[in-house]
Structure 1
Amino acid sequence: MSEPQIHVRLAVQAESAAFTTQASSLAQQLNLPQVAADSAADEWDLLLQVGSFGLRLQELGKGAPGPVWVDFAGGANAHRRQFGGGAGQMVAKAVGVKGGVRPTVLDATAGLGRDAFVLASLGCVVTLIERVPLVAALLADGLARATADPDAAPIVRNMSLLHGDAIALMRDWQGEAPQVIHLDPMFPHRDKSALVKKEMRLFRPLVGDDDDAHDLLAAALALATHRVVVKRPRKAPAVAGIAPAQVLAGQSSRYDIYPLKSLSKL
């Protein structure tokens, strides 16, 4: 999975002078320009802002939505943890969470980490891979801030982040192989919620499509010990035309399940 080319005008900005050093370090790390804290920044499409709130991505221009950031302690993640349905959620069923079964999971397309957080909150140890440096930075920031929250801290201790090419990392995996690999290749989703629309609007030019999803699936099938699960839009074709042994369908999305060994034998 090659790193996508960014086709938007993106810069790093500090909330105030107190965060200038931190913003400079991040700009250097991500190879992005930096704008002053008091700059109107009219020539930019997006700003990666550093401040007391942590790290957030803000679109500029008339009618731009609010910022996107990773918040495991509050917001949608906290609501889903408390009221989302626990082990009855589709992602939990797909990876095989049931009874005393809590498989180790590799989320090879981590994104903003929502599914990984759900699985970690249910007791799974989850490794996350994110290939896009900016998204990985948002995710790392969210994980770091969550360690200060008494409810989220025990959950994120079950989560570890790797930044890199998921295909290469899986092909050269070091250590014990994950029992389950979760994949969610980028696809033109049709979810109509405002939050998803906002995030897709921001991330599509940054992330691009996973044109090599077939290689991603092949690497996952070669590494996982028990199963691979692939999240897809409900009516999308199976990745690489490889029919799954089982399909778990929801209202707008589904999970294609490729079993390798029974999880009941864990």
Structure 2
Amino acid sequence: MKQVEAELRVDFVEGPVAHRLRFGGGRGQDLAKAIGLRAGKTPTVIDATAGLGRDSFLLASLGAQVTLIERSEKMHALLMQGMERAEKEGGQFREIIGRMTLLKGDAKDLIPKLSGDAILIDPMHPARKKSALVKRELRQVRDIVGTDDDAADLVRVAIQHARKRVVLKWPAKADPIEGVQACTHQIRGKTTRYDVFMVG
């Protein structure tokens, strides 16, 4: 019998997000360091490619005000539902969602009108050279949002408009995006690296 694929949903209350909230290691995490969250410093963040909203939620849980941008109609609707559910949960979840603002549109058009210390860009990553099946959830996201062929343009717009830094989240072993200036420094994890472009 063919297995029916579970419907994709954005869940901030249970699963990996809740686990990371409880046991994630706070501001010592690579993403937090890349964004510039450290003792006494809490930058405002624009998440230009919101997707499932997990990075935004993590940053908001560490005290940052985060503006999420999602251009896919369907993904935006899923994010909105996820945020509403988390808000209804109350307590800590409501407080975190209170620091998140969701916008619909193309980040390249919206970023010039917004103001953020740090801009996070996590484009759909290039197809892996190894043919291991991409995680089901990621595959579902890719089916919805497609490939981000304009990632280089987005990074360039972000570099022009961020107040302090732009952070590109990218597979650890992938080549840099063509047409983008060299980054200032990198924070490398096992599977992911953060290319940090200091500006201003």
Normalised by the length of structure 2, the TM-score is 0.91
> Could you list the per-position Cα deviations for residues 198-219 of structure 1 after superposition, in whole angstroms to 9, with x for gaps in the alignment?
1122222221111111110111
Match of 1:238 in 2: 176
Match of 2:50 in 1: 110
**What is the alpha-carbon distance in structure 2 between the residues aligned to residue 64 and residue 233 of structure 1?**
29
Conserved? CA contact 2:155–2:180, under 8 Å? no
* 1:63 Cα offset (Å): 2.7
* 1:156 Cα offset (Å): 0.6
Gaps of 5+ in 1: 1-60, 262-266
Change (3 A) 1:120 1:189: farther
**What is the alpha-carbon distance in structure 2 between the residues aligned to residue 89 and residue 210 of structure 1?**
26
Aligned pair count reads 195
1:97 and 2:37 equivalent?
Answer: yes
1:258 and 2:193 equivalent?
Answer: no
**What is the alpha-carbon distance in structure 1 between the residues aligned to residue 88 and residue 108 of structure 2?**
33
Give 3-state SS (helix, strand or coil) of 2:135's partner.
helix
1:85 and 2:25 equivalent?
Answer: yes
Give 3-state SS (helix, strand or coil) of 2:6's partner.
coil
**Which residues in structure 2 correspond to 1:146-157 (within 5 Å)?**
146-149=86-89, 150-157=91-98
Residue type matched to 2:110 in 1? L
* 1:111 Cα offset (Å): 0.3
Match of 2:108 in 1: 167
1:224 and 2:162 equivalent?
Answer: yes
Conserved? CA contact 2:10–2:78, under 8 Å? yes
> What's the Cα RMSD here?
1.8
Give 3-state SS (helix, strand or coil) of 1:109's partner.
coil
% identity of equivalent residues:
47
Give 3-state SS (helix, strand or coil) of 2:175's partner.
coil
**What is the alpha-carbon distance in structure 2 between the residues aligned to residue 146 and residue 154 of structure 1?**
9
Match of 1:68 in 2: 8
> Could you list the per-position Cα deviations for residues 168-206 of structure 1 after superposition, in whole angstroms to 9, with x for gaps in the alignment?
1123x15xx10000000111365x9x9x61112222222
Give 3-state SS (helix, strand or coil) of 1:119's partner.
helix
